[in-house]
């Protein structure tokens, strides 16, 4: 995967490599140039040395010649200096040309020549000192010194030539290498420049594209993140609101639970009171039951007496019926007797009187019978009323007794139910206590959740902010990489 780093690294590596190559080439060229220039300067040194040698020899010869001519020791100064320095110079030369076997051979050839020449000069000088001018001139004229000097010159010239050839060669080498270096450096630099610019362009465009892509992704993601953060913020807000509502509801629930617990407690108390009241009522009912039973007994007795009384009055009534019947019959007979008496005429008058008396008696009896019947009826109606009343009373006593029994049963039921109620109330109390505890726990948990929700809200707000910042940053980044894109 060609990452940014790799691409940039590759570009830079190649540029580095090219630069390094160019540097190496330049360095090499410089090295070779330096070496060549060192060689050139070396050669110049050699040449200088050779020239010095020649010059020293010439000076020596000149000194010699001067002395020969003038016999002035002062003119031997160049000869002395030359003689002293030539060996060193030759040694130096030998050192300088240690790498050149041709030159070494020539130096081998040169050294004896120089020695011969110096010896010759010395000979001449000594001769001049000792013999004077003419012998020395003869020696000089012999030309051995000149020959030697010519040989030295020849050798030195050869050496000089060779060195100059070497110099030319080296100069051409230098030129060649310099031109090669120039070429290399120029082309390389050009190529490098081209490559670097191409690479830079390519990299820039590729990187820009990639960055733009990545930034677009980031923008999209940040937009998504923003929307998600928005949703989260909204959700957190809703959750927070819901939490508030739940908290309120839980508080109300708590309050209600406490109320229920209190009510259950009160119910239990009331139930206990009701049980005791029911027990008291039970006792009262039992007493009432007993008294009712007594009443019933009495009432039954009354009823019995009344029924007996009724029977007796019925008997009286029956008797009275007979009497009444008799009276009626008597009356009818009296009437009929009166009628017959009326029909009998005078004879029947006395009979009519008796019939009349009978009639009167029958009337009296009927009247009394009516009275008695009235009384009997009163008694019987009174008896009936009493019996009915007592029956009604007995019935009501019965029903009352039954009702009392029912009441007693009801009281027992009440006591049982109250007992059950007490149990239930206790259970309710317990469960409401548990519920209160649980609700309090829920309350705490809800408070925690509410806290968490608030934190989530805050953090989601922060996330939203961060997402917005991210969106802004990505937009800026996009603008950085693609200034033409203004979104």
Partner 1 sequence: MSENLTGVIERSTELRRAFDKSFSVAPVTRATDLEDLLDIRVGLDPYAIHLNQVTGVFADKPVTPLPGSFPELVGIAGFRGAIVPVYDLRILLGYPRGGSQRWLILTAGKTRIALAFDQFEGHTRVARSAIAEEGAGETQQHHVREVVRTANLVRPIVHLPSILEVIRKRARQENL
Contact footprint for partner 1 (CB under 8 A) = 328, 331-332, 334-336, 338-339, 342-343, 349-350, 352-353, 356-357, 359-361, 363-364, 366, 368, 375
Which C-beta is closer to partner 1: that of 327 or that of 425? 327
Considering the complex, what minimum distance in angstroms separates the CB of residue 376 from partner 1? 12
Q: Are 81 and 59 in contact (CB under 8 A)?
A: yes
Which C-beta is closer to partner 1: that of 151 or that of 363? 363
Nearest to 108 by CA among 155, 163, 149: 155
DSSP 384-418: HHHHHHHHHHHHHHHHHHHHHHHHHHHHHHHHHHH
Q: CA 249 → CA 241, 254, 395, 440, distances in Å? A: 12, 8, 60, 12
Which C-beta is closer to partner 1: that of 105 or that of 364? 364
Considering the complex, what minimum distance in angstroms separates the CB of residue 344 from partner 1? 13
Element (H, E) at 116: helix 101-131
Considering the complex, what minimum distance in angstroms separates the CB of residue 315 from partner 1? 18
**Encoding tokens for residue 298?**
């009495």
Considering the complex, what minimum distance in angstroms separates the CB of residue 353 from partner 1? 5
Question: Positive or negative CA dihedral for 231, 235, 236, 237?
Answer: positive
Q: Are 136 and 68 in contact (CB under 8 A)?
A: yes
Q: How far is CA 21 from the centre of its chain?
A: 53
Which C-beta is closer to partner 1: that of 269 or that of 336? 336
Which C-beta is closer to partner 1: that of 83 or that of 373? 373
Considering the complex, what minimum distance in angstroms separates the CB of residue 384 from partner 1? 18
Q: CA 40 → CA 32, 36, 173, distances in Å? A: 11, 6, 11
DSSP 231-298: HHHHHHHHHHHHHHHHHHHHHHHHHHHHHHHHHHHHHHHHHHHHHHHHHHHHHHHHHHHHHHHHHHHH
User: Which residues make Cβ contacts (< 8 Å) with residue 18, sequence separation at least 6?
Assistant: 188, 191, 192, 195, 196
Considering the complex, what minimum distance in angstroms separates the CB of residue 281 from partner 1? 44
Considering the complex, what minimum distance in angstroms separates the CB of residue 332 from partner 1? 5
Q: Are 73 and 67 in contact (CB under 8 A)?
A: yes
Considering the complex, what minimum distance in angstroms separates the CB of residue 399 from partner 1? 33
d(CA 335, CA 15): 176
Considering the complex, what minimum distance in angstroms separates the CB of residue 355 from partner 1? 10
Other beta carbons less than 10 A from residue 463's beta carbon? 20
Which C-beta is closer to partner 1: that of 40 or that of 352? 352
Considering the complex, what minimum distance in angstroms separates the CB of residue 306 from partner 1? 16
Which C-beta is closer to partner 1: that of 35 or that of 370? 370
List the beta strands (DSSP E) in 77-193.
none
Query: 399-418: string of b/e by CB count within 10 Å (b at 16+)?
Result: ebbeebeebbebbeebbebb
Which C-beta is closer to partner 1: that of 140 or that of 366? 366
d(CA 475, CA 469): 10
Which C-beta is closer to partner 1: that of 336 or that of 465? 336
């Amino acid at each position: 995967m060609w990452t940014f780093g790799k691409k940039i690294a590759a570009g830079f590596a190649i540029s580095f490599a090219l630069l390094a190559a160019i540097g190496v080439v330049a360095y090499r060229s410089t090295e070779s140039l330096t070496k060549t220039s060192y060689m050139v300067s070396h050669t110049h040194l050699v040449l200088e040395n050779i020239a010095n040698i020649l010059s020293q020899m010439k000076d020596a010869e000149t000194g010699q010649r001067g002395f020969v001519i003038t016999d002035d020791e002062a003119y031997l100064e160049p000869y002395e200096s030359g003689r002293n320095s030539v060996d060193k110079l030759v040694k130096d030369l030998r050192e300088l040309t240690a790498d050149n076997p041709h030159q070494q051979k020539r130096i081998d050839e040169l050294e004896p020549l120089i020695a011969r020449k110096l010896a010759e000069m010395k000979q001449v000088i000594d001769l001049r000192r000792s013999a004077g001018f003419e012998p020395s001139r003869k020696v000089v004229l012999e030309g051995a010194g000149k020959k030697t000097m010519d040989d030295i010159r020849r050798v030195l010239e050869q050496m000089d030539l060779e060195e100059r050839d070497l110099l030319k060669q080296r100069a051409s080498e230098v030129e060649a290498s310099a031109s090669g270096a120039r070429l290399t450096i120029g082309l390389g630099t050009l190529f490098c420049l081209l490559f670097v610019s191409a690479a830079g362009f390519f990299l820039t465009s590729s990187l820009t594209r990639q960055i733009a892509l990545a930034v677009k992704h980031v923008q999209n993601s940040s937009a998504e993140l923003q929307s998600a953060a928005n949703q989260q913020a909204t959700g957190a807000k809703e959750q927070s609101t819901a939490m508030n509502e739940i908290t309120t509801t839980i508080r109300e629930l708590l309050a209600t639970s406490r109320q229920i617990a209190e009510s259950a407690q009160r119910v239990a108390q009331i139930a206990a009171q009701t049980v005791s009241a029911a027990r008291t009522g039970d006792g009262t009912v039992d007493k009432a039951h007993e008294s009712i039973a007594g009443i019933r007994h009495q009432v039954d007795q009354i009823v019995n007496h009344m029924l007996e009384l009724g029977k007796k009055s019925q008997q009286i009534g029956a008797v009275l019926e007979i009497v009444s019947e008799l009276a009626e019959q008597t009356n009818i007979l009296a009437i009929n007797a009166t009628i017959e008496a009326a029909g009998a005429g005078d004879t029947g008058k006395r009979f009519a009187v008796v019939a009349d008396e009978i009639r009167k008696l029958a009337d009296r009896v009927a009247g009394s019978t009516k009275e008695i019947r009235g009384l009997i009826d009163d008694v019987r109606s009174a008896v009936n009323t009493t019996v009915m009343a007592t029956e009604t009373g007995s019935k009501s006593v019965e029903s009352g007794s039954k009702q009392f029994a029912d009441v007693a049963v009801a009281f027992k039921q009440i006591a049982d139910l109250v007992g059950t109620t007490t149990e239930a109330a206790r259970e309710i109390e317990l469960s409401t206590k548990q519920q209160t505890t649980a609700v309090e726990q829920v309350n705490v948990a809800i408070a925690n959740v509410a806290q968490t929700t608030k934190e989530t809200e805050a953090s989601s707000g922060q996330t939203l902010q961060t997402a917005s910042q991210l969106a802004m940053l990505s937009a800026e980044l996009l603008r950085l990489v693609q200034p033409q894109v203004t979104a």
